[in-house]
Structure 1
């Protein structure tokens, strides 16, 4: 058994000053109760807020090394997230966090379609230092939290992300293929 791998969840919202009801929070509570996974949830409404949230995690949180997964819940499409009515490409996001995500898994909820080619995925991984990037390529009318939780739970048991994905497909093949689960490493 490997040490716990914490999750840092960032969700894009229209306005952080307004109380938001998030569909992600019950899923994160389930992760804590069912799998014992420690997680932090934050919202942001601008690229500056995204950068500030990750900088706080990187430079002020003493447990940063324990956060193996950055769970990003942002609206978007075609490998672009929407923040403050502006589209940001994954290449732009990679440049914001150049070298700061070493060894981390970046996972996108299915609120943004992730369908990278080999060159784009390798660029993101090389620039950020991330271990892997994952998400969903197909639009479906349900939130990906069921599959996300299974993925995160398996990652607590296995250290090798390839093993995690193979087991995820074994256990949830129909859901993985319907949603277009993708892993780039």
Structure 2
């Protein structure tokens, strides 16, 4: 697998994400429309005792499918917290920064330039039933390999070895902590 992603692959990814978003929003809209129509029929007294529950069930399924198809909703669902979380939630996640990504940042601890190490992302979000609705702030801290292994007890030397010799698989962000 090449180290850099080709321009056509990036374009295909963007178009694919856009089409999934359109399909997701269409499913959500169709589902909400079905539910609203059935509520209108119920208010007017025209609701069918068999048809109304079936349409509401199918419409609810369409809304759920739309949420799971839409990439933005999926990313928010991946960042969910416990169901009891309501209001402002602060969270931290971290991931390994590989040299092949092409970043050149400064370490927040020692100030040295780095192109590999650890990235910590601090988020403040407004959550409803544990699902982030709005992200109010995002901040990043970058750490070189030496500072990451000495300052964070959860990071071991084997993690540092993975930073220095990354495999071809893409590493995803992992949650570090959740502050209350």
**Given the two structures, how large is their TM-score scaled by the length of structure 1?**
0.21
Bigger radius of gyration, 1 or 2? 2
**Given the two structures, how large is their TM-score scaled by the length of structure 2?**
0.21
